[in-house]
Amino acid sequence: MDTHITMKEMPQSEQPVEKCVRGGAHMLSDAELLAVILKTGTKSLSALQLAQLLLSQGDGNLLNLVYMDLEDMQKIPGIGQVKAVQLKCVAELSKRIARTRRAERVRLDNPGSIAAYYMESLRHEPKEKLVLAMFDSKSRLLADEIVSIGTVNASLVSPREIFLKALAYGSVQIVLLHNHPSGDPKPSGEDIRVTKSVAMGGDLIGIALVDHIIIGNNRYKSFREEGLLG
């Protein structure tokens, strides 16, 4: 789309809101969808041009909404704090929609279903996040909590803290998940040491570590599937 064409210069039937009313949101381009959210531009840029400018940053696509923080967004002329917050909320909503659709498919005996549930919330994270997923005796997901942020390290991850959280929720089975920002989910030596430490602690108090799943970029590795849990 020509970046010099403003929304006002376009035929009314081709403006984003009109296109959405006429044919549905799926008819809109990425820039047009963002223009509807932004609503207004600046004196020199229409909302559509502002959306195109936002998309041209960084990765050059919608992932900018995920990767860019509030401060970075506000460096773009025409995007103040309110618009930046709106855009970040849209990104968060997209993650939660993806998770909600997969929630009913989560099965403790199916690592792929667990990985799919957490994929969108973890695969774009710039730092490693270790998540504790807690299940009841009927293998239903009770809750999840972030245990640590940063490199997953046996000297930093406390099995005591993990099991205190699991006990608080009445969980009898747990799964650890963490992301590799590199996109490669291959377990490191430290990943293996952390897993062994938590598994041993679980054996002592009767809470089973069912799996440790590493999330990459649309890929995952399951300790259970790889036979690394013993």
Render pLDDT for 31-50 as a digit per residue (tens, 0 to 9). Answer: 999 999 998 888 888 899 99
Tell whether the model's pLDDT for residue 102 goes beyond 70: no
Q: What pLDDT, on a 0 to 100 scale, did the predictor assign at position 7?
A: 52
Tokens linked to 62: 């919608």
Q: Are 55 and 64 in contact (CB under 8 A)?
A: yes
Tell whether the model's pLDDT for residue 56 goes beyond 50: yes
Residues whose CB falls within 8 Å of the CB of residue 111, separated by 6 or more in sequence, listed in order: 211, 213, 220, 222, 224, 225
Average pLDDT, stretch 154-164?
Answer: 84
| Tokens 């081709």, located at residue | 14
CB atoms near residue 16 (< 10 Å): 23
Q: What pLDDT, on a 0 to 100 scale, did the predictor assign at position 206?
A: 94
Angstrom distance (rounded) from CA 229 to CA 222: 9
pLDDT band for position 150 (cuts 50, 70, 90): confident
Angstrom distance (rounded) from CA 215 to CA 203: 25
Q: What pLDDT, on a 0 to 100 scale, did the predictor assign at position 188?
A: 93
Q: Across the chain, what does the average pLDDT equal?
A: 88
Tell whether the model's pLDDT for residue 9 goes beyond 80: no
Q: What pLDDT, on a 0 to 100 scale, did the predictor assign at position 151?
A: 79
Tell whether the model's pLDDT for residue 6 goes beyond 60: no
Q: Which is nearest to 18 in space by CA: 31, 6, 27, 9? A: 27
| Tokens 């099995």, located at residue | 159
Angstrom distance (rounded) from CA 19 to CA 122: 33
Q: What pLDDT, on a 0 to 100 scale, did the predictor assign at position 59?
A: 77
Tell whether the model's pLDDT for residue 67 goes beyond 90: no
Average pLDDT, stretch 204-213?
Answer: 96
Tokens linked to 1: 């789309």
Tokens linked to 220: 């995952």
Angstrom distance (rounded) from CA 94 to CA 130: 21
Q: What pLDDT, on a 0 to 100 scale, did the predictor assign at position 5?
A: 43
Tell whether the model's pLDDT for residue 155 goes beyond 80: no
Tell whether the model's pLDDT for residue 2 goes beyond 60: no
- 12-99 folds as DNA polymerase; domain 1 (1.10.150)
Q: Which is nearest to 88 in space by CA: 27, 29, 34, 39? A: 34
Question: Is domain 106-226 in CATH 3.40.50.300, yes or no?
Answer: no
Between 81-103 and 30-38, two packed helices, what is the crossing angle to 10 degrees? 120
> Where exactly are the structural domains of the chain?
12-99, 106-226
Question: Where is average pLDDT lowest: 2-11, 151-160, 221-230?
Answer: 2-11
Angstrom distance (rounded) from CA 68 to CA 87: 10
**What is the bridge-based pairing of β-strands 208-215 and 220-222?**
antiparallel
Could you tell me where the DSSP H helices lie in 68-142?
70-73, 81-103, 111-122
Q: What pLDDT, on a 0 to 100 scale, did the predictor assign at position 170?
A: 94
Residues whose CB falls within 8 Å of the CB of residue 220, separated by 6 or more in sequence, listed in order: 111, 112, 115, 119, 185, 213, 214
Residues whose CB falls within 8 Å of the CB of residue 87, separated by 6 or more in sequence, listed in order: 34, 37, 38, 54, 65, 73, 79
Q: What pLDDT, on a 0 to 100 scale, did the predictor assign at position 8?
A: 52
